[in-house]
Amino acid sequence: MESFRPRVIFSAAITLDGKLATRTGDSKLSSNKDKIRVYRLRSKVDAILIGKNTAKIDDPLLSVHNTRKKNPIRIILDSNATICTNSRILKTCSKIPTIIVVSKKAQKKNLYKLEKFPVQIIVCGKYTVNIKKLLVILKKKGIKNILVEGGGITNWAFVKENLVDEAIITITPYLVGGMSATTLVDGDGFSNIVKAIRLKLKNVRKIKNEVILHYVN
């Protein structure tokens, strides 16, 4: 891993057929035990990152919940600065440090709304967020590791640039199907296997009816 950027760790729960959610966006896949594991994992990293779609559909807190640990910094990729002002992330940004990353094309009226909240706004990229540049900026801010809990589009932004150092994925016992259901990694995808990121299996853990796979680059 390059020393000029944070360590990037993918974290997700997926179905047996590789979906992050159903075609309607229902992503309630993990068991309570797995959720507790994720909360503990969050407490060990400097930041958690998601995209605007996950923020909109799931409206997550991205906290460690009741583990009595310190909440990591929350980072939201939102090129157009359109995150809902009633979102739980913005409602709690006075208690949990939050960074909203936008592009240069974000409208001033949207930025003005965001500036009313105690969040840090980072402008990075012309039309979309430039992930490589963003990671350099975040490292300079003292962020050494990031847990990426994004959807398929956000995850692809990291994968296509070979910016994945670890992947901790829970396989849940569901088959949901659906051509429009988001997968772990969406986007254009690689044309050949030789271009894909090939990870090494570090650990396999079973929690009742779920399997947690831990891969490293």
Alpha helices in the chain (DSSP H): 32-42, 52-58, 88-91, 108-114, 131-140, 152-159
Q: Is the pTM of this model over 0.85?
A: yes
**Contact 22/178 with Cβ under 8 angstroms?**
yes
Which residue type occupies 56?
K
What's the pLDDT score for residue 69? Answer: 80
pLDDT tens digits for 17-68?
999 999 999 999 999 999 999 999 999 999 999 999 999 999 999 999 876 7
Question: What is the spatial distance between Cα 82 and Cα 99, in angstroms, rounded to a whole number?
Answer: 14
Half-sphere exposure of 177 (CA within 13 A, CB side): 0
Percent of the chain exceeding pLDDT 90 equals 95
Query: CATH fold of 7-216, please?
Result: Dihydrofolate Reductase, subunit A (3.40.430)
Cβ count near 13 (within 10 Å): 23
Quick one: pLDDT at residue 67? 65
How would you classify the pairing of strands 47-51 and 145-148?
parallel
